Amino acid sequence: MMKKETHPDYHEITVQLTDGTSYQTFSTWGAPGDTLKLEIDPKSHPAWTGVHRLVDSGGQLAKFNKRFESFGLKS
């Protein structure tokens, strides 16, 4: 028997992959019935696909490219 108030709420959620498919699982994330939308998953991650793409979060990639454009780097 588990002690009350010491364990997180473990409930069912929906996980949606980048291609739109989804599945049900149990997690402590969110609230019961919530949908967790993944930005990177095994169908889109370079480690599994072999295709590399740059993800620009917060304009950091654009900032880097602008700073070093005089070196002839391609964006």
Residue 2 located in a structural domain: no
Residue 57 has pLDDT above 90, yes or no: no
pLDDT score recorded for residue 47: 74
43-56: pLDDT as tens digits: 777 777 777 666 66
pTM over 0.85: no
> 4 in a domain, yes or no?
no
Total domains present in the chain: 1
Asked if the structure places residue 1 within a domain, the reply is no
For residue 6, being part of any structural domain is answered with no
Alpha-helical runs (H) found in the chain: 46-49, 60-67
Q: Which of the pair, 61 or 22, is modelled with greater confidence?
A: 22
Assigned domain for 35 exists: yes
| Domain hosting residue 25, numbered range | 11-71
Other residues' Cβ atoms within 10 Å of the Cβ of residue 30? 13
Residue 20 maps to a domain: yes
The pLDDT score that the predictor gives to residue 17 is: 92
* Assigned domain for 21 exists: yes
Is residue 29 domain-resident? Answer: yes
